[in-house]
Amino acid sequence: MGSEAAGMKNYPFSNFAELGEYVARTYNNPTAFNYKDDGQWKSVSTREFINQVKYLALALHELGVKKGEAVGILAFPSPFWLMADLAILSIGAVTIPFFPPGSEGNLEFKIENSRLKQLFLFCPDAWERVAPHLGSIQNVICQGFMPDDKKIISFEDFIKRGMILEAQQPDIYQSRQKAVQEKDLASIIYTSGSTGMPKGVVLTHKNVISQLKAARQIFPLDSLKDVAVSCLPLAHSFEHTIVYYYIASGVSIYFNSDIKKLGDDLKEVRPTTIVVVPRIFEKIYAKIKAKVAAASAVEKIIGAWAIEIANKHDPDKDRQSLQFMLAKLLVFKKLMKALGGRLRFVITGGAPFKRDLYRFFINIGVPLYQGYGLTEAAPILSANYPGNHKLGTVGKAFPDVTLKIDSTGEVLARGPNIMRSYHEMPEETNKMIDADGWLHTGDLGVCDSEGYLTITGRKKELLKTSGGKYVSPIPIEQELCASSLIDMALVIGEGQSFVSALLFPDPEYFKKWKKTKGQSEQDFLASPFIKKKIESLIEAINSRLDHWQQIKEYRFILDPISVESGELTPTLKIKRHVIVDRYKELIAEIYKEK
Q: What is the CATH classification number for the domain harbouring 486?
A: 3.30.300.30
Contact, 55 vs 166, CB < 8 A?
Answer: yes
The more confidently predicted of residues 494 and 343 is 343
Domain hosting 557: range is 462-591
Confidence category of residue 104, pLDDT binned at 50, 70, 90: low
Last residue of a domain, one of 269, 295, 328: 269
Whether 521 is in a domain gets the answer yes
The yes-or-no verdict on residue 548 having pLDDT over 60 is: yes
The answer to whether position 198 is within a domain reads: no
- Dist. CA 486–CA 187, nearest whole Å: 37
pLDDT in tens, 487-532: 899 999 988 889 999 999 888 777 776 666 666 777 777 788 888 8
Q: Which long-range contacts does 45-49 make (Cβ < 8 Å, 24+ apart)?
A: 46/250, 49/79, 49/82, 49/83
CA distance 464 to 512: 39
The total of structural domains in the chain comes to 2
CA distances to 7, 97, 375, 440 from 403, in Å:
19, 28, 16, 10
Task: Collect all residues with Cβ–Cβ distance below 8 Å to 288 and sequence separation of at least 6.
Answer: 307, 335
Can you say whether residue 322 is alpha, beta or left, with left for phi > 0 and alpha for psi between -120 and 50 degrees?
Answer: alpha
Q: What pLDDT, on a 0 to 100 scale, did the predictor assign at position 194?
A: 46
Facing residues of 383 across strands?
A: 371, 396
**Is residue 396 included in any domain, yes or no?**
no
Query: Hey, what amino acid is at 159?
Result: I
Give Cα separations from 382 to 43, 70, 215, 373, 401 (angstroms).
Answer: 34, 30, 11, 7, 8
pLDDT greater at residue 94 or residue 515: 94
Length in residues, the chain: 594
Give the residue ranges of DSSP H helices in 150-296.
155-168, 172-178, 205-218, 237-249, 262-269, 278-293
Total Cβ atoms within 10 A of residue 585: 7
- Note whether residue 315 is domain-resident: no
Q: Is residue 438 a part of any domain in this protein? A: no
Residue 410 in domain: no
3-class DSSP state of 163: helix
Band (pLDDT 50/70/90 cuts) for residue 30 is: very high
Q: Using the predicted structure, report yes or no on whether residue 483 has a pLDDT greater than 90.
A: no
Peptide bond into 379 cis (omega under 30): yes
| Position 565 confidence tier, pLDDT thresholds 50, 70, 90 | confident
pLDDT value at residue 375: 94
* Confidence category of residue 577, pLDDT binned at 50, 70, 90: confident
Mean residue pLDDT across the chain: 91
Cβ-in-10-Å burial (0-12, 13-18, 19+) of 38 comes to exposed
pLDDT of residue 341: 96
CATH code of the domain in which 117 resides: 3.40.50.980
Residue 439 lies in a domain: no
Domain boundary among 269, 284, 306: 269
Q: Is residue 457 part of a domain?
A: no
- The domain boundary, picked from 253, 269, 285, lies at 269
